[in-house]
Structure 1
């Protein structure tokens, strides 16, 4: 069987046109379902706090490890409201837009059927829906990855001045939005250079050089303003020791299959889960392998799409191998559309056996549905990083007395600042004391509250059983404090302590 081209492709694009618009609209609606119900968790709250930085200081925030574009998109919204719905809305829209873009890009490759199936997978993707309901750049990353793929393809097809300007702008926006998008560029750039060489148009070589000069200058500016700081903080926080040092050359290469299955396949298909069945990611890998072969064997003009995915994966493994960037999971989301494209090609290969093709498609969609974040309470294997500090803070405000002191546990700091920015209560934000012995933690809390007769301990992003540890240690210390009131929610709590007589 060959991948359809020519007039049949045009007819398919016309037939699929209405469906892709409906699918995109439904994808956005799914992403809006329950988008404002859960509180900000630690990472989200940190992004909100950064977006609340006054202008023009927000341009130069170096807290964290990401460049500024996404933060600037949130900035006007954050000046009006910190409501979860509105600050998560851009993520939902970018995620929904990626559904349409995935189809449009592949339809331009004369693969409308593969594009439609890819768009379907993107629409129901559990990892896409999760990040569509989070204040983070990850939905934007997938959207930009598709813009990069489409922009490089457009230059390779036509190469007008406008095409080159669009490509330059998309690359710069991508690099100033998320550093992980950079690992897509080498394979896309090499393929573009090959296409330009085949066309043998000198003017295109000049445009190629000018584009890369502009991009190089933008990277230099980014390096001296933010990237150097981010690289130092990122490598320190993530402990990115080169793999050729530990565990060594041979051992790290032998670990590649495990890192690929866990960091790419499992995270792309059933994220934040603890499934015990190793055959499931292997099954998805098999489908992806079939799709890879299908794109290359049946139509050599589309084989570069297979090279895009596997080339980017190898680049990601290499940069982790030398210790400059993590591998897999959210750090690899730039290759997510390519992964779903290969899965879609695997289903497309089976079209000559319609029953099997439909059964496989339904199975792949069903797995995604089962891991939707909205259905987390029904899935015993799904554990999302959720923290419900908002209702805990509301309870604190209802019960607190004017003279009460609030000690904010270090993990709750960002979210507490968002939900309680103008609190009249005396508030102390604790330091990151995770690695301290328990007596030193208690000593810090005692000094912070200055032996107040009563104080509140606000907690979220709780490390292991640290809430129970602190409650018990404060009761046993001198002076001792006992809990007289408390409110507990998902990975969040507030405790009212009164000094023991």
Structure 2
């Protein structure tokens, strides 16, 4: 060591220095604090999103109006505005509103708590199924990924879907390992009966993992355990049937939902169309569901590690692999039958299983030392996956993820309005406008709810002209959000023909325009 410090330019001198980072990296990797740091980071990122109190956007606002304005009993009936949400989630959100008020933090409390707790629960699952080394990269992704973080602060049940999936897999773990006594089956049976009322995708996780369990018990000739599992499955089926009659039936047969999600159903009109859809759907799992960055190739790397992890578990633990894959296959079958969309946020419940496979693949790549190429390619792939993912997550923390920041726009209009001003509320802005009008007491003397007519925009002008004439106003505020690409330009052009644009205020995803009308114009 002394000689190396005196001759730093020789190969012998530089070798220890070059190797110095490896022991430190190994010490960091082996540190018992690393899982706690990653868990804390995941919870902190979710807390930042939750505490930011971003404005409710259209989907949240529709559901929030149901939660706020309906009684407990009426929440059991089909929801207004073509909304569909598990009864258990809606009732929990109602309880939070009753306890803490009608603000954004109260409405998002249940998703946040579910998202925060799911980080720790996922670590327990990944460590139990993969071992520590493969569980660490899976946990890191779970902590950082965009959509698991984002949906932990949205008035939607997707964060709860993830938590229920993890909890059910945790309860399945000892049973898949052959422990089929009542002490193991009763908690799983009870959780399954309850889960379908809080999470629609539990209806895929339970039969998917349940069928895997049945095959395992059948091959082992554990007839007593198979009989108990059959009773458990019967209890799940009864609970699901009741949930379907009370809650799911109206959603499954809703033509508006079918039309909205038509591109998320498997097309069967041609072989080429189906193949193209499958390719996009597979990559969509990594881009739209996990929310991995696409510019740096992180989504492609994740897909590669997913495939490697699939191969690893196919050789090492087919029971758990089947339990992970079967729910996704059932979901795909439902999409083929046009019963459940296979896209984006509705597949967030697949994230835990996907990350377990990616973690297994990452560990296998990192451990590959047989070829010099793999010693170089393996670390490069991991860097391509984790660096942009971490950068995206940390960059989004300040500022937090935004969507349709309509609250500051409404507040700006309220501060700058004059008596007699008319507010024309674009149809896409109406749900959030109505939510804030009710909960914040924003009292606009004159306002008009815009019709929804994106295919016939001339109807907008007719409605606006009728409102201006009926109220005899000279100043019109135009509030717009969640608009189609052509609507904003059309409105601006039509209003400018009626008068001069006096003022404009913009926020992310929302805008307000003030026009002073020329009453002499035709």
Give the TM-score normalised by the residue count of structure 2: 0.81
Report the secondary structure of 1:488's partner residue: strand
User: Per-residue deviation at 1:61?
Assistant: 4.1
Residue matched to 2:337: 322
The worse-fitting range, judged by mean Cα deviation, of 442-451 and 391-400 is: 442-451
Partner of 2:428, secondary structure, is helix
1:403 aligned partner:
420
2:280 to 240, 250, 258: 258
Q: What residue in structure 2 maps to residue 43 of structure 1?
A: 59
**Structure 1 residues 471 and 255: CA distance shift in structure 2, 3 A:** closer
Instruction: Could you tell me which runs of 5 or more consecutive residues in structure 1 were left unpaired when the two chains were aligned.
Output: 1-14
Distance 1:250-1:322 versus aligned 2 partners, 3 A rule: farther
Q: Of residues 87, 104, 112 in structure 2, which corresponds to 1:84?
A: 104
Match of 1:148 in 2: 168
Which residues in structure 2 correspond to 1:9-158 (within 5 Å)?
Answer: 18-35=33-50, 36-52=52-68, 53-63=70-80, 64-79=83-98, 80-109=100-129, 111-156=131-176, 157-158=178-179
| CA-CA distance at 1:57 after TM superposition | 1.6
TM-score, normalised to structure 1, is 0.84
Report the CA distance between 1:439 and its aligned residue: 2.0
Match of 2:203? 182
CA distance in 1, matches of 2:388, 2:264: 35
Residues 250 and 360 of structure 1: CA distance in aligned 2, closer, same or farther (over 3 Å): closer
State the alpha-carbon separation in 2 of the partners of residues 131 and 40 from structure 1: 13
Match of residue 440, structure 1, among 438, 445, 459: 459
Is 1:333–2:348 an aligned residue pair?
Answer: yes
Structure 2 distance, partners of 1:343, 1:16, is: 22
Shift of 1:384: 6.8
Structure 2 residue aligned with 1:415: 432
CA distance in 2, matches of 1:110, 1:283: 20
User: Structure 1 residues 212, 352: CA separation in 2 closer, same or farther (over 3 Å shift)?
Assistant: closer
Equivalent of 2:245, from 224, 230, 234?
224
Give 1:402 deviation, angstroms. Answer: 4.0
Per the TM alignment, residue 210 of structure 1 is displaced from its structure 2 partner at its CA by 2.6
Q: In terms of Rg, which structure is larger?
A: 2
Match of 2:261 in 1: 238
Q: Is the 8 A contact 1:455 1:497 kept in 2?
A: yes
Q: Give the distance between the partners of 2:72 and 2:272, measured in 1 at CA.
A: 50
Give ranges in structure 2 of 5+ residues lacking alignment: 1-29, 370-374
User: Using a 3 Å threshold, how does the CA distance of structure 1 residues 404 and 88 change in structure 2: closer, same or farther?
Assistant: same
| Residue of structure 2 in register with 1:4 after alignment | none
> CA–CA distance in 1 between the matches of 2:164 and 2:95?
21
C-alpha contact (below 8 Å) 1:67/1:177 kept by paired residues = yes
